[in-house]
């Protein structure tokens, strides 16, 4: 068994409020320090997620994003500031993370995740968090996480609503059956144009911050091992009514990844 890294005097003070938590403690904080987390997208969901993972002491954080900061991003992508407009998001986010916590190592991947690089990127990390804004990327990431055996925390943000779930379809649940995949929840991509883009529909900035923070909580729970993760559960949020609802979903035996007819 690989030994966990020790915490320096500075880290013991920095993470003191975690260390006194019974569900985290010193060993849990050491697990966070040893962990490698890949965040896909340094945008509305990814930026608060990155900030809280850094503050929590996740030892290595990878960032995948090929975009640059624009002025219209700043209403919700709070890891970036006005002087960062025009800079690569990975560069701006990396500097902010180092400012938040110099004990965190940042691995910036200034690229779009594609069929060609997805496996290599995902294979190098312990937990993946997808804050992308399109279905093509979500399906690519979730499928690749299944084949690479990596837990995935994935969220989607609408104008005034959002969803969040955790996927571990490479593992079995308490019933001995494989956990559901993303394709069990959403078997097919919606037709082009059915879901309006953020630039068309708008998005509530504070909602992005809330959901990104909840993604960080799911990642931390996956790394430390406390509580009950959102596996087989979809958390739905409605900012109009400040209403939260959780629905359960099961494995679809016809899904192409771990269904009854899947190629294993």
pLDDT digits (tens, 9 = 90+) for 223-256: 999 999 999 999 999 999 999 999 999 999 999 9
Residue 188: per-residue pLDDT: 83
Q: Is the predicted pLDDT of residue 264 greater than 80, yes or no?
A: no
User: 132-150 as b/e, with b when 16 or more CB fall inside 10 Å?
Assistant: bbebebbebbbbbbbebeb
Question: Which segment of 15-24, 27-36, 129-138, 182-191 scores lowest on mean pLDDT?
Answer: 182-191
> Could you tell me which of 57, 48, 15 has the C-alpha nearest to residue 164?
48
Structure tokens at 72: 């219209």
Q: Is the predicted pLDDT of residue 89 greater than 50, yes or no?
A: yes
C-beta separation of 206 from 197 below 8 A: no
Sign of the alpha-carbon dihedral angle for 128, 133, 136, 139: positive
Residue 41: per-residue pLDDT: 95
Instruction: Give the CATH architecture of domain 17-248.
Output: 3-Layer(aba) Sandwich (3.40)
If one compares 133 and 73, the residue with the highest pLDDT of the two is 73
Residue 133: per-residue pLDDT: 86
| Cα dihedral: 133, 225, 180, 182 (round 10) | 10
Q: Is the predicted pLDDT of residue 132 greater than 90, yes or no?
A: yes
Residue 262: per-residue pLDDT: 75
Question: Which segment of 12-16, 59-63, 112-116, 199-203 scores lowest on mean pLDDT?
Answer: 199-203
pLDDT, averaged across the chain: 93
Pairing of strands 36-40, 60-64: parallel
Q: Report in angstroms the alpha-carbon separations of 144 from 39, 118, 141, 235, 254.
A: 14, 7, 5, 23, 18
Residue 197: per-residue pLDDT: 61
Output the pTM of the full model: 0.95
Please list, in sequence order, all residues whose beta carbon lies within 8 angstroms of the beta carbon of residue 100, skipping any fewer than 6 positions away: 51, 54, 55
Q: Report in angstroms the alpha-carbon separations of 64 from 50, 130, 228.
A: 11, 10, 28
Residue 196: per-residue pLDDT: 61
236 DSSP β-pair partners:
163, 245
What average pLDDT does range 59-82 have in this prediction? 96
């Amino acid at each position: 068994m690989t030994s966990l890294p020790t915490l320096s005097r500075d880290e013991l003070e920095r993470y003191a409020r975690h260390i006194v938590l019974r569900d985290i403690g010193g060993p849990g904080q050491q697990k966070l320090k040893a962990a490698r987390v890949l965040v896909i997208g340094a945008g509305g969901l990814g930026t608060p997620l990155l900030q809280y993972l850094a503050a929590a002491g996740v030892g290595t954080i990878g960032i995948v994003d090929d975009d640059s900061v624009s002025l219209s991003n700043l209403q919700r992508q709070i890891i970036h500031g006005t002087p960062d407009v025009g800079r690569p998001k990975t560069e701006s986010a990396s500097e902010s993370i180092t400012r938040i916590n110099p004990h965190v190592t940042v691995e910036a991947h200034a690229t779009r995740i594609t069929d060609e690089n997805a496996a290599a990127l995902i294979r190098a990390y312990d937990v993946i968090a997808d804050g992308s804004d399109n279905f093509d990327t979500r399906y690519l990431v979730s499928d690749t996480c299944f084949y690479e055996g990596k837990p995935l925390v994935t969220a989607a943000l609408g104008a005034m609503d959002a969803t969040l779930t955790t996927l571990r379809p490479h593992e079995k649940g308490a019933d001995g059956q494989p956990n559901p995949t993303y394709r069990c929840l959403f078997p097919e991509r919606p037709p082009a144009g059915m879901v309006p883009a953020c630039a068309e529909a708008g998005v509530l900035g504070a909602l992005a911050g809330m959901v990104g923070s909840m993604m960080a909580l799911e990642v931390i729970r996956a790394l430390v091992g406390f509580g009950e993760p959102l596996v087989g559960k979809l958390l739905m949020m409605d900012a109009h009514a400040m209403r939260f609802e959780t629905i359960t979903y099961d494995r679809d035996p016809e899904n192409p990844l771990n269904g009854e007819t899947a190629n294993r």
